[in-house]
Each structure stands twice: as C-alpha cells, then as structure tokens.
C-alpha cells in the first residue's frame, strides 16, 4: 500500500535561514524576530530542529518566503497489519522455527481466509 506524507524540509528551511542571516549574529536576528532564542535559531539552521508553528511562521515572514516553500510530499510504502505481524513473528528470537511456521499459517488463515 502506498501513502503520501507531507513534512517540513528541515534541511532546506535551516539552509535558507542561514543564507538570509548572512553575517548578522544569531543574537541580533533572534532579537529582530522576537519569538525565538539565539540557541533555537542555531538549532534550526543546523537543519535538524522542528520549530513551533509561531516560530516557523515568524521566520518565514522575516525571510519573506511563502511557508509552503518548505513542505515536501513524499510517497512511501506502508505495511498491512498482516505484514507487520508476520515480520514480528519471523524476527522473534524467542520462538522456534516450528512455532514461527504455525503462527504464520494461523495469521494467513485469520487475514486471508482459507482460499
């Protein structure tokens, strides 16, 4: 099964913040914006920190960027409950191979019927 998931591209957002700041100090920019600390701005610029929505929107205003610019949609595979259970059964080191086979057959009957 395929699903789409939209997320904030933290790396791009952090990069754009850093580019916009240029040689201006973290302290000065955080004071200009007023909704974040110097430390928070630094973490955002590193590209691995998810800011609160108020901070995100304040930075977008400061950068004069549309917030939508920083969202990406990715497609990914999702597992069914059946696939998850089979994976758990097969990877459980406390079960014997025989037990794994029996449980797998049982899950096939439960999820897929006798056809």
Write down the pLDDT at residue 76: 76
At 112, the pLDDT band (50, 70, 90 cuts) reads confident
**Percentage of residues in the chain with pLDDT exceeding 90?**
76
Average pLDDT value for the chain: 91
Fold classification of 2-75 is 434 Repressor (Amino-terminal Domain) (1.10.260)
Residue pLDDT, tens place only, 38-83: 999 999 999 989 999 999 999 999 999 999 999 999 887 778 888 8
Q: How far apart are CA 17 and CA 104, in angstroms?
A: 51
Which 3 state secondary structure label does DSSP give 77?
Answer: strand
- As a whole number, mean pLDDT of residues 15-35 equals 95
Q: How far apart are CA 41 and CA 33, in angstroms?
A: 10
Write down the pLDDT at residue 100: 92
Taking each helix axis from N to C terminus, what angle separates 53-63 and 10-21, rounded to the nearest 10 degrees?
50
Residues carrying CATH 1.10.260.40, the chain: 2-75
């Amino acid at each position: 099964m395929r699903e789409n998931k939209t997320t904030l591209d933290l790396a791009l957002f952090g990069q754009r913040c850093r580019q916009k700041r240029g040689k201006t100090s973290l302290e000065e920019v955080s004071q200009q914006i007023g909704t974040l600390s110097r430390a928070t701005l630094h973490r955002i610029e590193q590209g691995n920190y998810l800011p609160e929505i108020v901070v995100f929107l304040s930075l977008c205003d400061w950068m004069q960027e549309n917030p939508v610019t920083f969202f990406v949609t990715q497609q990914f595979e999702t597992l069914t409950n059946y696939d998850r259970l089979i994976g758990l059964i097969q990877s459980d080191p406390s079960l014997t191979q025989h037990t794994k086979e029996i449980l797998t057959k049982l899950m096939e009957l439960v999820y897929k019927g006798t056809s």
